[in-house]
Structure 1
Amino acid sequence: MSEGLDPTTPAEAVEWYLAQRDPELSEKSLQNHRYRLDRFLEFCEEHEIENMNTVTGRDCNRYRVSRSQDVKPVTLRGELQTFRVFLEFCAAIDAVEPGLREKVQIPEVEPSEEARNEHLSTERAKEILDHLERFEYASRDHITFAILWHTGIRLGSLRAFDVGDFDRDGQCLDLRHQPDTGTPLKNKKPAERSIAVGPHYCTVLEDYLEHNRHDVTDDAGRRPLITSSQGRLSQNAIR
């Protein structure tokens, strides 16, 4: 262990790092950082690393290799980028040797791997909508697909809608940024707006609300528009 370093457990370092980043990151980004660094904490537990002072370049390489066996290169790249920033923070609080972050090798990723270029064609979308209209009318899948296709909103935006955001007379859905109760919007308050639905899908929405929506509230006592029997649908479930 080098002189001048302050003993710090990996868990303490991660919590301090997240607290330092909290004011500048969105809730979703902070969750991503926590998830990525949880993988490092699992590595530390597996290899009995109890003090960040003892982390070496060799440990960083072992961590990189172990993660490369579990995730795709583009995911590994994101995890290691966060890990490098974390190590920079650790050096600033005298938990690791300065410059340790430079020993974390970031993998090269082909441009084709960085983003998925799969697009749903208009023809295919119409086929899906026709099928839903005929065989799954006013179901949750019908509402979910129709709103996403016709409005182009994000999954997180769709998830944020409450029953009260549906304005039948105005034929629109009112999108609101509500981070304190679990539905932040990526662009925060500037993303708030009314989104036109149209007369046909207003009728479909009404039928969904009357016949197929689970009559539930979420943990904040709100009545989500898109539901499961447990409450507000998650982004993964919507996807």
Structure 2
Amino acid sequence: MSLKDELIKDRLPKHVAIIMDGNGRWAKKRGNARVFGHKHGVTAVRETTETAAELGIEYLTLYAFSTENWNRPKTEVDALMSLLVSTISSETGTLMKNNVRLNTIGCKESLPKGVQKKLNDCIEKTSANSGLTLTLALSYSSRWEIIEAFKKVAQDVKDNQLDVDDIDADMVSNYMTTAGIPDPELMIRTSGEYRISNFLLWQLAYSELYFCDILWPDFRRDDLYRALLDFQGRERRFGKTGDQIKK
């Protein structure tokens, strides 16, 4: 029996989030510049997206570029932005073929104009697709997101659009960049690192976390299946006891 055949269809997570880590180390092991790893990481993105779409997973969020990544050497950042433009252009057809809708979260205004245009064009072109929603977290960090949400809440309270007593968890979620998207049930991080790295801190409150040693450019279908099988073997209690969940 294949790994895919072991999956229980009605117990798949609706939303999977991935920290795609290890591109630089993958390239370094081969004696190449870091951007070489980023280029090969595109294959992993394509295969993971296609696999998630085939399985019927509704949302896939990929941590592509953090606000902290702007502090990397300019040559690497420039290469990443160029790669992002070319990848969006070349992969739009694949998204259309797989009925995938593109979305983005993060400070899009900080991205180069060329990247913004390609993103907006692809988002518009795929907007009518009804399958998987693929969200790219670009120029994103969770602390940035939470600060922006605080500012909006404060402004709405100041403008008498919101009463302080109405503030609760559901309302705060609606001020996040992921408003309208369910929280991830599963978060995967590759490369053997055991950190959240400022990614979806609010949304990951009750997510199952899965860490693997595989460097992102080597991540393939079977690796996603293994993560999903691990998820299906867990008991999700949300603060309750195991006996309560089984009732």
TM-score interval for Structure 1 and Structure 2 normalised by the shorter chain:
under 0.3
Asked which structure has the greater RCO (Cα within 8 Å, sep 6+), the reply is 2
Q: Which has the higher helix share?
A: 1
Q: Rg larger in 1 or in 2?
A: 1
The TM-score with structure 2 as length reference comes to 0.25
Q: TM-score, normalised by structure 1?
A: 0.26
